[in-house]
Amino acid sequence: GDSVTQMEGPVTLSEEAFLTINCTYTATGYPSLFWYVQYPGEGLQLLLKATKADDKGSNKGFEATYRKETTSFHLEKGSVQVSDSAVYFCALSGYRNWGSYIPTFGRGTSLIVHP
C-alpha cells in the first residue's frame, strides 16, 4: 500500500535558519502530494500542494518540489521564524483502481524555532 516517510523530529532551529524537512513516499501511479501544518492548539491546515511531477508548491515562504525520480517532496524555507513552530505532516492522495483517491499521512515532524 501507499506510505509516507518523514524525518524524525523534533527539528530545533534558531530564527532565520534554513529549514529542510525530508519526505519520501511510496505509491503507485501519480499521487498528489501535500504538506499540512498543525500549529499549537489548532487543527491541521493545508500549507502547500503539488499535483504532478516537477511541480513546485509554495506558500508563506515554504516550498516543496514533486520529485518523481526520487519519490520525494522535501519541505524547505529559507529563513524560519518563531511563529513557524508547529508540527508538519507530509501526505499523499493515491489513486485506486476503482476511481477514487485515498489519503495517506506521514507521522509528522515537530519544528521548534528559538529566538
Partner 1 sequence: EAGVAQSPRYKIIEKRQSVAFWCNPISGHATLYWYQQILGQGPKLLIQFQNNGVVDDSQLPKDRFSAERLKGVDSTLKIQPAKLEDSAVYLCASSLEKGVRPVSYEQYFGPGTRLTVT
* Residue among 34, 115, 42 at smallest CA distance from 82: 115
DSSP 52: S
Choosing from 4, 26, 84, 86, the residue that interacts with partner 1 (CB under 8 A) is 4
Burial level of 57, CB count in 10 A (0-12/13-18/19+)? buried
Q: Between residues 71 and 93, which has the closer beta carbon with respect to partner 1?
A: 93
In the block, residue with C-alpha cell 516537477: 54
| Binding map of partner 1 across residues 42-81, x = CB under 8 A, - = no contact | xxxxx--x-x------------------------------
Q: Between residues 99 and 115, which has the closer beta carbon with respect to partner 1?
A: 99
Q: Which of positions 87-106 make contact with partner 1 (CB under 8 A)?
A: 89, 91, 93, 96, 100-106
25 part of the interface to partner 1, by CB under 8 A: no
* Residue among 44, 17, 23, 13 at smallest CA distance from 106: 23
